[in-house]
Every structure is written in structure tokens, then in C-alpha cells.
Structure 1
């Protein structure tokens, strides 16, 4: 159980562009306003899933031992019994906590907004609020934080000290972003999955907070495989300008680019063509993530840069009265 933490002094940063360590610590005060566990409102999307690993408890294998009178015969290990000629049972203990990994995107594409706050700020806020909630539930929380140059990986622990340490890493990754940031090939979404795969996760919860811009069909298929033995919760952060372009851009004569290629939007036809492409790509990715969530009847959580992301997240997973 996390103890109340005295928040450090805030830095002199524009909160629309960057989040500081003090802000992430203060989000502890909002951790009781929502839940990732079964005590949700009846109308919540997650209600009624009491047997789900996402919100419930399981059993851990403890030992293999000789059968004793009163043991449940359903736990007999027939292979060992036949090999030794003596009855053996597998003994289990109740799993008391969950293993949750928060995957937080702080790469260059997250440093973008056409409205109120950067996508990177939204991701950091949601990750911090989730970390405090998980810790308050007595569960273990780990982090995979992707900045523009490297992946910062922390195994799941149940200590406030480790959460504070990772929130400092997260704030530093957030503040390192700027308009000149370029991503290393070692922080691609495929590298996320490689690192997560090495953890041999089972009966764990992955909360992936990203814009999902470089997640392709093959990677989604891998996540579907993991969804069979874990729970993958997708939180997608997008900006309205990434999904459709306003018509007035033709008169503004904008030039857009991705760091390598540029396109001059100097006509209405070009603006409409670019807008249709963005809308189609956004719809395809959104539908793919919805299907991934439907495997476990989990909510697909879509957040934007309007500044209301904390309230929208709480509503999506289930607010507490």
C-alpha cells in the first residue's frame, strides 16, 4: 500500500508542453477516483469480468509432493505418478497480486499537438495515475519507457520508492523531447515487443500508452497471441490534425513533412487527398485495436490532446464514487 507522498516543488515548465516530476507525483491524489479491479460500477465496460486475470486473482504452482489423505485428486500429476509408481499431487498457492507493465511512449511523434497539450504529456499523466492506482491496490507495477534514444525497462515491484524512481525517469524522457528529436531504430514498437517477449509474461497485464503510429499487422498478431494468456489494454493517444486536415490549409499554403519528405499543401485538391489518407489510416488502426480489445472484452481507450484525458480515462475504465 502506497503511503501519501509529499510532492516536490514544480519546475517552471509550460504544462501544455512538458510534465515535471512534481506533477506526476501529485497525481497520486487522483488514484482513488477509478479502478482497474472488480469493484466497478455495474454500468462499466469492465463490470462482470470477475474471473478475468485483468481484475482478479489466480493460482501459482508451489511444489510437487506425495499424495496425502484429504488432497484433492484433481491435482494428481499422472505423469509423475505413473513414472514413480507413487501418487503425487501438484500444490498451488493463491496469487495475491497482479503483475502490471506500463508501456509509455515518449518518442518524437508524441511531441505533437494542435489543441491543448502534447501527446507525450497525456501519456505521462495516464501512466503516472495508473502506477499509483496499481500500487494502492497492493499489486506489482513495472515500466517500459521509450524515449527517442532508448528503452528504460523496470521489472514489476510493489514499492513506492521504485514508482517514484520510474516517474523521475518518465519526466526526464518527457522533457528531453523537442522539435529536433529523432528516434533511434532501437526504440521502434517492434523492439518494445522483443523486450516484452524476453520477460516471458504470463497472467500479466500490459497497459500500452502510445499513438501506435508504427504498430503494423504483424505486431498486432503478436499482441493477439499474448492476449490469450495476458491482458493487453490499449490506450491510443491521437491529435485531431493527425486524423483529418482542415480545408483552410489550402489558403495557408502549409508545408508538412516527416523529417525526410515534404509536401506542399498549396491546393484544395492536395489538402483533401492528404486528409482522406489520414482519415483512412486512422480508421484502420482504430478498428484493429478495437478487435484486439474485444478478445477479452476490454475497452479500447481513445484519448486526445484536448486536455480532458484524465477524466476520459477514468470514465473508460470505470470511475469510483
Structure 2
């Protein structure tokens, strides 16, 4: 007798700080409100891009050949036919599916929030939803998880069982984060991209979900190379405190640091200078990613830690 399909049970974690495997599985119920496929309704951020949004199922031109009895006359190439004096038709092959790679950041800098939900939780939940949507559309999905210790990669498959195993890895990486977490030298943004480069991806969709804090100019150049042969969708997870600091902090004498240097925020001038630096850095990253997305007329999607990230993503990507 077959065993009943028992849904995973919640682990009792605070959902604002950590996401558990059961939560990532339950997010399957949220996927009917958005789509990563072409032919989205007008009004969606992703609509209006010629024939398709991402590379996906459709007809690819294969060859030009002489007309044969039974060929569809709608495929006649009239220019070639008139030039040669002999009927020619254009032959097409059908794409069977898409290969989607979801790259989700679970490194130490993602374990942060000044509002409701940790950036790491936002990234994990949006990644899970994207994967479930890809599977529903009958495509292959693989997940690349950058944790604080290593980068985990799983082969793209059209299998719910395989995807649930990937969600377990994602949940585990998320729950290993804490205030003492530090990144190993194996998980820099450079090494993350290099691992993807070794996969020799082509005609794939890559969804990056991160805060982009350590993305430098050379990394953007590599992402542009990815964009030439694939579709790269950038999702930024931001926290308000990473863009501007409240003046009230001057009364608290906060000490902030980057692991090497420290700064005491004990005056309004220091607060103002720090806020200006944060705002400039965020704006530069936002502009760079917007230009990268413009190469394929795709949107740059920005989410916050207010707890409404799911509805934000559904709205920005597009409802069905």
C-alpha cells in the first residue's frame, strides 16, 4: 500500500527570523498570482516585450528548404521564393522547456532587518515561490544557494521531489545564520559567479535574489556576459536602515563596523554623512542593475523587509 503524502510540519521557528522547510513547501499555494512566462496581461511590469518575456517554449527557426507536398503554405518565405523562382519554406522546431536557475543569497549579511522580516527570509521565500511557479509551468528548475560556508548547487530537474530536496538545503542554510555568522572565503560574489560560469549556461533563465552589497563593476561585466546568452532577472532585497539612518541614533552612540573598521555615530553630522554614503551606494547599485535589466527589457525588482515581500513580488512581476 502506498504511503499517504503527509505535508511537512512547521518547526516552530519565528517566521520573521527564520524560514522552515514546511513554510517553503506551503508557499506553493501563492504561485497562481504571478507568472514568469510570456504573454502577461497589459499593465504588468514585464509586459510589452515583443513576443516573449523570458526565453521559453516556442518555435525556433531551424532551416530554409525547398517546398515539399504537404508543407504549410503559411511558412513560405516569399522573398527567397521570388529571388530563386522556386518555392521555399521556413522550417521550425519547438522548444520543449526552459531551464531556470534560482540563485539565492543566504550569506551572513542577509541575516539583518530593522523592520519585520530578515533579508535572508525574504530571499528564501521568494526563491521558493519562483521554483514552484517554474515547476507548475512544466519547466526545469535548479537552485544555487550561497550560504555562509559554501555554495550549494543542484541539477535542474522537472521533479517536485527533487525540488523539495533543494528546499531542504535552502531552509538549512537559512537556519544556520545567526548574529555571529561570518562568511568563509569560498562564498564571495566572485566565486558565486565563477561557479555559474563553469556551468556553461545558455538559453536559460537566471533569477538572482540577493542584496547586491558586494557586487562590483567586474561582477556586472560578467552578468552582462550571462545576459547575452540567457535571461538574468535581478531581485534586490533591501532594508530601510541600509539606505538612511535616523537622526535619533546620535543619542544612542551607536558603533557600526564592517569587520575591519568601526565608526561611532555620536553626532548628527556623522549620521548625515553615513546616511549620504549609504544612499549613494544603494543608488549606484540600483542604477547599475536597472541598466543590466534594460538589455533584455526586463525589470529590476526591489523588495523590502516590511513583511509584504510576497505581495510586492507578485505585483512587480505581474498577476495572471
TM-score with structure 2 setting the length: 0.88
Offset, 1:197:
0.7
Q: CA deviation at 1:48?
A: 3.2
Q: Whole-Å Cα distance in 1 between the matches of residues 114 and 30 of structure 2?
A: 27
1:12 matches 2:12: yes
How many residues are treated as equivalent by the alignment?
298
Cross-structure match for 1:98: 98
* 1:30 corresponding residue in structure 2: 30
Deviation at 1:27, TM superposition (A): 0.3
Deviations 1:42-101 (A, max 9, x none): 111222335336154356799x9xx89739999xxxxxxxxxxxxxxxx87421110100
Do the aligned residues in 1 keep the contact of 2:55 with 2:204 (CA within 8 Å)? no
Matched-pair contact (CA < 8 Å) for 1:265–1:271: yes
For 1:274 and 1:22, locate their aligned partners in 2 and report how far apart those are by CA, in whole Å.
40
Q: Which residue of 2 aligns with 1:51?
A: 51
- Bigger shift: residues 52-61 or 278-287: 52-61
Gap change, CA 1:239 and 1:210, over 3 Å in 2: same
Structure 1: gaps of 5 or more residues: 75-90
Question: Could you tell me how far apart the structure 1 residues matched to 2:14 and 2:266 are?
Answer: 33
Aligned ranges 1:1-321 → 2 under 5 Å:
6-49=6-49, 51-52=51-52, 54=54, 56-58=56-58, 70=68, 93-320=93-320
CA contact (8 A) 1:104 1:123 kept: yes
Q: Distance in 2 between matches of 1:226 and 1:177?
A: 29
**Cα pair 1:36 1:55 within 8 Å, conserved:** no
How far apart are 1:254 and its partner, in Å?
0.6
Q: Tell me if structure 2 keeps the 8 A contact 1:27–1:128.
A: yes
Worse-matched range after superposition: 193-202 or 5-14: 5-14
Judged with a 3 Å threshold, the aligned counterparts in structure 2 of structure 1 residues 53 and 226 are, in CA distance, closer, same or farther, namely: farther
Q: Describe the SS at the equivalent of 2:256.
A: strand
Instruction: Tell me which moved more, 130-139 or 31-40.
Output: 31-40
Task: State TM-score, norm by structure 1.
Answer: 0.87
Q: Which digits, 9 at most, give the CA deviation of each residue in 1:283-312, with x for residues without a partner? A: 100110111111111111000100000000
Offset at residue 225 of structure 1 (A): 1.9
Q: CA RMSD in A?
A: 2.2
What do residues 194-233 of structure 1 show as CA deviations (whole Å, max 9, x unaligned)? 1111111111100000001111011101111221221100
- Tell whether the 8 Å contact from 2:106 to 2:173 is kept in structure 1 after alignment: yes
For residues 186 and 61 of structure 1, the distance between their equivalents in structure 2, rounded to whole angstroms, comes to 42
Gap regions ≥5 residues in structure 2: 78-90
Counterpart Cα distance in 2 of 1:53 and 1:35: 10
Indicate conservation of the 8 Å contact 1:99/1:204, yes or no.
yes
